[in-house]
Amino acid sequence: MTEPVLLAFEDREYTRSELDALVSGMATLLEERGVRSGDRVALMSSNRPEFVVALQAIWSLGAAVVLLSTAWRRAEVDHALALTTPSHAIGDNPMLAEAMPMLDLDAPITPSPRRFAPPSLDADALFVFSSGTTGMPKAVRHTHRAFATAVAHWRSALGLSADDRMQIMTPPSHILGLLNIATAFEAGAWLRLHRRFDVDAMLRHIQTDRITIEMAVAPIALALAAHPSLESYDLSSLRYVMWCATPVTKSVAEEVTARVGINWVTAYGASELPVIACNSLVDGRLDTVGRAVPGVTIRVVSLETGEPVPVDETGEIQVRSASVMAGYLPDDATADAFAGPVGDGWYRTGDVGHLDADGWLRITDRSKEMIKVRGFQVAPAEIEAVLHGHPAVADCAVFGIPDAANGEAVVAAVSRCQVVESDELTALVADRLASYKRPSRVVFVEEIPRLPSGKVLRRVLKERLWTSD
């Protein structure tokens, strides 16, 4: 009997045994370069089979993977490396190669039949990055036990089995892309990787590969709704399309459903706790992010007192689960993320919402000041630090406003001490930071409202500027 294909990429197909042999070969190569159990290995890669092989090879040696985004600029890469102190690197990005010795993913791999003992469940598995409100990104630390729990939760929420067929176009360095890849492999589902998002390629492969579950973030959903020939594709194999990472834009989802009959499902998670809630796979509700998945407990607490509030009352959403992160780097950022002891307390999501009597969760706002662009968290202070470096900027503040395509758009309010154009400031940020952190608008103001303590009144500024449009 022919072994089934597990992974497809462009014209290449891989069975599980072929992938296992490549993983063993790469693990041996990394071992020869000095990688040992307990080490941290930086991985900066596009979406490709070698990413999957490298990830599994690092874990085979008992090392932890530090996932770096290919969208980052050099300052962000340098910060992440200084924070996590990896001893080795592997990838396909010249920026990482400039920062430290790197094993190139384009180097040939000699397959090997060698097998490795599984890593300890309580050992570090991965570091992903989640921005803080006070500056550059924090590293989120997950153990093998916690990440395996998240994978089990996601598989259950998706109803994923070996009969399903998926394709992944989201970046593998983001928790969503990584979770989708790991869950598909755990379930034995057929998976196609794409280097980047292309709506025509996505639709073509739904039709030719008979995709059963499609993952979408807001830009993907918007591209579907705007596609002039959407009806010409056979999308009948789809069980549903999962809208992840940003709030659903109801009008966009309904437009696609009206045209081609797609069933949408929504879910909710975070880098720190990847799977929190998911909707029913069959009823297509868009007014809620769903109920807590089995193994996850959700509560809503008062923003003033921190005490649980009654049903339907708004407050901060807090979550408890075995899939929660082990903590942040730097370590001193961890305690504030929990109400109660780290690892056994309630993770404070920073989202504001309410639970109804039947357990349906609705998100209405954020108590933290993070901006969420295409599922990526953007720290206002990080962009402000770049803007403050321009001699024409007397003061500035950054905030987010709702955006149909990206979830939120970045707006920078700037007071000037000399003449400067908005394009120059936007270009400055684009040169220093990832493209998704670039302001979509720069608004010039007389002054930035602040408390006597110096804290920026972002909400006041946001209401003043956004509602004046």
DSSP string over 19-62: HHHHHHHHHHHHHHTT--TT-EEEEE--SSHHHHHHHHHHHHTT
Cα–Cα distances (Å) from 384 to 78, 151, 329, 335, 363, in that order, read 19, 36, 22, 25, 27
Mean pLDDT of the chain: 92
Token pair in block for residue 345: 């307390």
- Listed range (293-302, 340-349, 416-425, 434-443) with the worst mean pLDDT: 340-349
β-bridge mates for residue 8, sequence order: 13, 192
**CB-based contact 352:361 (threshold 8 Å):** no
Dihedral (C-alpha) 93, 98, 100, 105: value to the nearest 10 degrees?
A: 30
pTM for this predicted structure: 0.86
User: What's residue 344's pLDDT?
Assistant: 76
* Token pair listed for 1: 């009997």
Residue 216: which of 246, 260, 187, 191 has the closest Cα? 246
Residue 246 backbone phi and psi in degrees, to 5: -135, 160
- Tell me how far apart the alpha carbons of residues 393 and 410 are, in angstroms, rounded to a whole number: 18
Q: At residue 16, what are phi and psi to the nearest 5 degrees?
A: -65, -40
Say which residue the tokens 């003992």 belong to.
117
User: Which of 58, 64, 57 shows the shortest CA–CA distance to 112?
Assistant: 57
Is the confidence at residue 453, as pLDDT, over 80? no
Least confident of 259-263, 326-330, 349-353, 456-460: 456-460
pLDDT, average across residues 118-132:
90
Residues 228-234: contacts with CB within 8 Å, 24+ apart? 230/203, 230/256, 230/259, 230/260, 231/259, 231/260, 233/203, 233/204, 233/206, 233/207, 233/260, 234/206, 234/207
Residue 185 pLDDT: 96
Q: What is the pLDDT of residue 251?
A: 79
Query: Would you state the pLDDT for residue 454?
Result: 65
- Position 337 scores a pLDDT of 93
List of E strands, 280-360: 291-292, 296-301, 315-321, 327-329, 338-339, 346-355
Residue 90's pLDDT band (boundaries 50, 70, 90)? very high
Residue 323's closest CA among 376, 272, 268?
Answer: 272
Q: Residue ranges per domain, the chain?
A: 265-366, 371-466
Strand partners, 370: none
Q: What Rg do the C-alpha atoms of the chain give, in angstroms?
A: 22
Q: Residue 180's pLDDT is what?
A: 96
Give the rounded percent of residues in the chain with a pLDDT score beyond 90: 72
Asked whether residue 407 carries a pLDDT value surpassing 80, the answer given is yes
Was domain 371-466 assigned CATH 3.40.50.170? no
User: How confident is the model over 285-300, as pLDDT tens digits?
Assistant: 888 999 999 999 999 9
Question: Which of the listed ranges 35-39, 246-250, 434-438 does the model predict with the highest average pLDDT?
Answer: 35-39
Distance, in Å, from the CA atom of 459 to the CA atom of 349, rounded to the nearest integer, reads 19
Would you say residue 329 has pLDDT above 90? yes
Residue 468: pLDDT band (50, 70, 90) is low
Q: How would you classify the pairing of strands 361-366 and 346-355?
A: antiparallel
The first and second tokens of residue 183, run together, are 């869950």
Average pLDDT over residues 436-456: 84
Count CB atoms within 10 A of the CB of residue 101.
9
How many residues in the chain?
469
Distance CA 57, CA 73 (A): 26
The strand pairing partners of 413, in sequence order, are 397, 443
* Mean pLDDT value of segment 144-166: 98
Residue type, 249: T
The topology (CATH level 3) of 265-366 is: Luciferase; domain 3 (2.30.38)
The proportion of the chain whose per-residue pLDDT surpasses 70, expressed as a percent, equals 96
Give the span between the Cα atoms of 63 and 40, in whole angstroms: 6
Task: Say if residue 237's pLDDT is above 60.
Answer: yes
pLDDT digits (tens, 9 = 90+) for 46-85: 999 999 999 999 999 999 999 999 989 999 999 999 999 9
Asked if residue 249 has pLDDT above 80, the reply is no
In Å, what is the CA distance from 130 to each residue of 206, 242, 379? Answer: 31, 22, 9
Residue pair 433/387 in contact by the 8 Å Cβ criterion? no
Q: pLDDT at position 130, please?
A: 83
DSSP summary character for residue 3: P
Write out pLDDT tens, residues 33-44.
999 999 999 999
